[in-house]
């Protein structure tokens, strides 16, 4: 006989608690802050959508958002083609495969703040290896603490160094899954190397590339530690990305309301762009 | 157009995967490569297609040396056992792809694609993607690509092996017609002797990376030159046994019979005989008159034929006969062999009678 009860729900309870503590409660706290003003002592005043309006109208926010998009755009436009190119030139079999894979994975194993500190020292104009080499050997004036362009070049180079490997490894996984027969068929059809790339390799890599780009977009859009350790957002505000600005408002100025509103807007933008990108990339597969 | 191989070899590490092979392949009929899995059929096709480098020897197409010519420039087609089509392209684009690469005009491409699609009954599917087709249609798409390209040589590497029984028969019947009158050299690799016989043309028997015999298919079946050729071209496997010839009699354990024809004039001594299973029958006849008692081990019934594996002396034998025979496993049954259907080989494996 069948006994009807709701005991199965108990199985879901642990997950529910976990999600509540690590996502729902913090998120709702932020929502709570974003619509109120507080002067401490747990005294809150209802503020409505004022903070959102203030942030969306703020030129400072527009500027950091612009820098953020610029940063993400630049690293994607460099890392994706570079990663594919490296993956294509990696050996498919033999002794060098594990060597290449380990070398590729190394940068990703280094903690973010260490990467920032490493590049900071590396780039110091007079004692850093890179800074010294550029200034005193090649004679190029390079000082990222003074020159915004130098600072940008450095954070972009750092990110490319740190994260191109992710694109490489994912593209490589896509490439090695292509059976030899496809390459043979293409050769027999008389296809050039470019056609093989365009019509065999790229389509086969599409799924993993979508994931790679999505991951790189989200990671770079939310990046904080590395540029903070490297440049601290300077010189001036030239490398103050969205997350650095957010921390300045929240912890520097202790403007919790505007910071909370900004967090939610930030979150919404990340979500929206990721969703748009994913939907566009997988549209073909659904029909 | 002819395709000639002169003393071709292929080496992988220290092993010769293809041992010195020479063949002259002509258009107008199928050139079947028949051999078991691992006998070197695919290796040989890859050599001819230029996909793998030769260790030595030369390949000529139409009298021209193409040994060092890249695959891209050879104007050939290859159809695999696995249905290889470009997954993100439609059937139309798949068939058109080699023509597009060759820089052909759009109108001409369309004409050729539609012609090939008509021959292979793919017209209604031209705008589908390969994964929306059945296995048979996918392979037809791959064949259409080969036909539309009008290449000088077409390599079919077990193209029917992954299709189900019905489709395989249907497509096999169509294949010779598809390529008839196109002037291309057609090379067809298979592991099934029956398929080689059905396709006709010429057959090259392959074993251990070597061509053991090459000639018109029916001729090879009737007159195998050596033990290997006789055993490759037989399904179920051919029966072989060591005999002793003394005078005009052959002795096989307790069984003996009188030799006739060429076999009778051979010198006395040991020989190997091979006899196809359908010449070993469960009932005597005018020709099948050598009595061989044996213990039945395994029996199989395949619709219109019965086969029995039986032990006689030290050897295991197979009998294949039309109709249904009520064998009992474990019983001793009398089989009758036709001595005139025996191939006789010298101890070195070469046919002597």
Q: In this predicted model, what pLDDT tens digit does every residue of A147-161 receive, in sequence order?
A: 888 889 989 999 999
Mean pLDDT, rounded, of chain B = 88
- Would the pLDDT of A40 be above 80? no
- The share of chain A scoring above pLDDT 90, in percent, equals 27
Read off the pLDDT band of A32 (50, 70, 90).
Answer: confident
Q: B50, B54, B66, B53: which is closest to B8 by C-alpha? A: B54
How much is the pLDDT for A285? Answer: 62
Q: What is the pLDDT of residues A168-191, one digit of tens each?
A: 999 999 999 888 888 888 888 888
Measure the CA–CA gap between B47 and B170, rounded to whole angstroms. Answer: 30
pLDDT at A240 over 80: yes
Whether residues A188 and B80 touch (CB distance < 8 A) is answered with no
Q: Note the pLDDT of residue A102.
A: 92
Half-sphere exposure of B330 (CA within 13 A, CB side): 0
State the DSSP code for B133: S
Q: What integer pLDDT is reported at residue B156 of this predicted model?
A: 92
Q: Which of A185, A190, A200 is nearest residue B102 as measured by Cβ atoms? A: A190
Residues 43-62 of B with CB under 8 A from A: 46, 49, 51
Using 50 as the pLDDT threshold, list the residues of chain B that sit under it: none
Q: Which of B223, B289, B204 is nearest to B255 (CA)?
A: B289
Give the whole-number percent of chain A exceeding pLDDT 70. 98
Give the other-Cβ count within 10 Å of B352's Cβ.
16
Confidence band for A58, pLDDT divided at 50, 70 and 90: confident
Interface probe with A: pick from B97, B104, B144, B184, most Cβ of A within 10 Å: B97
DSSP state of A267: H
Measured between CB atoms, which of A188, A191, A195 is closest to B76? A188
Contacts of B298 (CB under 8 A, 6+ apart): B308, B309, B329
CB-based contact A255:A167 (threshold 8 Å): no
Query: Chains A and B: how many Cβ contacts under 8 Å?
Result: 54
Nearest-by-CA chain B residue for A287: B129
Judge residue A218's burial from the number of C-beta atoms within 10 Å of its C-beta, 0-12 exposed, 13-18 middle, 19 or more buried: middle
**Closest Cα partner for B47 from B27, B26, B76, B87?**
B76
Residue entry with tokens 């915004």 = A148
- ipTM exceeds 0.90, yes or no: no
Q: Find, in chain B, the residue whose alpha carbon is nearest to that of A206.
A: B88
**Cβ–Cβ under 8 Å, residues A175 and A204:** yes
Distance from CA of A260 to the nearest CA of B (A): 45
| Residue B236 preceded by cis peptide, ω within 30 | yes
Distance from CA of A168 to the nearest CA of B (A): 23
Predicted local distance difference test score (pLDDT) of residue A226: 85
Which domains occur in chain B, in start order?
Answer: 3-225 (3.40.50.300), 239-345 (2.40.50.140)
Please say if the pLDDT value at position A29 is more than 90: no
Local structure of residue B131 (DSSP, 8 states): G
Rounded CA separation A160/A144 (Å): 17
CATH superfamily ID and name for A58-286:
MetI-like (1.10.3720.10)
Return the residue of A nearest to B94 by Cα: A189
Position A1 scores a pLDDT of: 61
Q: Which tens digits make up the pLDDT trace of A83-124?
A: 999 999 998 888 899 999 999 999 999 988 898 888 988 888
Nearest of B243, B216, B242, B222 to residue B234 by alpha carbon? B222
CB contact under 8 A, A199 and B78: no
Interchain proximity B78–A200, CB inside 8 Å: no
């Amino acid at each position: 006989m069948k006994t009807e009860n709701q005991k199965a729900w108990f199985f879901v309870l642990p997950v529910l608690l976990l999600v509540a503590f690590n996502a729902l409660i913090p998120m709702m706290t932020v929502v709570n802050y974003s619509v109120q003003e507080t002067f401490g002592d747990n005294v809150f005043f209802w503020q409505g959508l004022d903070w959102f309006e203030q942030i969306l109208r703020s030129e400072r926010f527009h500027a950091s958002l612009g820098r953020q998009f610029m940063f993400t755009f630049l690293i994607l436009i460099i890392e994706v083609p570079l990663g594919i190119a490296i993956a294509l030139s990696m050996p498919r079999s033999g002794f060098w495969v594990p060597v290449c894979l380990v070398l590729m994975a190394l940068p990703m194993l280094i903690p973010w703040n260490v990467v920032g500190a490493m590049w900071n020292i590396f780039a110091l104009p007079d004692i850093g290896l890179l800074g010294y080499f550029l200034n005193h050997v090649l004679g190029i004036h390079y000082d990222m603490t003074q020159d915004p362009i130098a600072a940008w070049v450095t954070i972009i180079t750092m990110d490319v160094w740190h994260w191109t490997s992710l694109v490489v490894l994912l593209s490589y996984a896509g490439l090695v899954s292509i059976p030899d027969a496809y390459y043979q068929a293409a050769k027999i059809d008389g296809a050039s190397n470019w056609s093989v790339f365009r019509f065999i390799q790229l389509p086969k890599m599409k799924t993993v590339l979508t994931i790679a780009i999505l991951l790189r977009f989200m990671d770079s859009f939310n990046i904080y530690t590395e540029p903070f350790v490297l440049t601290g957002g300077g010189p001036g505000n030239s490398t103050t990305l969205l997350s650095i600005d957010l921390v300045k408002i929240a912890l520097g100025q202790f403007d919790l309301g505007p910071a909370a509103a900004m967090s939610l807007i930030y979150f919404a933008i990340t979500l929206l762009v990721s969703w748009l990108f994913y939907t566009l990339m997988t549209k073909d597969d659904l029909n | 157009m002819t395709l000639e191989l002169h003393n071709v070899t292929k080496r992988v590490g220290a092993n010769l995967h293809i041992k010195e092979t020479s063949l002259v392949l002509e258009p107008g009929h199928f050139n079947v490569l028949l051999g078991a899995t691992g006998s070197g059929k695919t290796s040989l096709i890859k050599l001819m297609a230029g996909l793998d480098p030769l260790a030595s020897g030369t390949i000529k197409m139409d009298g021209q040396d193409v040994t060092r010519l890249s695959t891209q420039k050879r104007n050939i087609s290859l159809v695999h056992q696995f249905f290889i089509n470009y997954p993100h392209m439609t059937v139309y684009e798949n068939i058109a792809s080699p023509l597009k690469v060759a820089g052909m005009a759009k109108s001409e491409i369309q004409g050729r694609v539609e012609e090939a699609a008509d021959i292979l009954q793919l017209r209604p599917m031209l705008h589908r993607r390969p994964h929306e087709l059945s296995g048979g249609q996918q392979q037809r798409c791959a064949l259409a690509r080969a036909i539309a390209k009008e290449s000088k040589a077409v390599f079919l590497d077990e193209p029917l092996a992954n299709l189900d029984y019905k489709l395989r028969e249907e497509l096999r019947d169509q294949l010779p017609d598809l390529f008839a009158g196109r002037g291309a050299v057609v090379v067809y690799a298979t592991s099934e002797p029956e398929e080689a016989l059905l396709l006709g043309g010429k057959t090259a028997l392959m074993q251990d990376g070597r061509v053991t015999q090459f000639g018109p298919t029916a001729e090879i079946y009737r007159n195998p030159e050596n033990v290997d050729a006789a055993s490759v071209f037989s399904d179920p496997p051919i029966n072989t046994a060591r005999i002793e010839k003394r005078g005009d009699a052959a002795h096989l354990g307790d069984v003996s019979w009188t030799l006739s024809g060429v076999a009778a004039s051979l010198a006395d001594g040991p020989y190997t005989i091979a006899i196809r299973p359908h010449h070993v029958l469960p009932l005597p006849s005018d020709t099948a008159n050598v009595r061989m008692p044996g213990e039945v081990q395994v029996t199989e019934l395949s619709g219109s034929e019965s086969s029995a594996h039986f032990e006689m002396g030290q050897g295991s034998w197979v009998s294949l006969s039309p109709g249904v025979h009520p064998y009992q496993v474990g019983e001793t049954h009398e089989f009758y062999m036709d001595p005139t259907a025996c191939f006789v080989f010298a101890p070195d494996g070469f046919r002597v009678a």
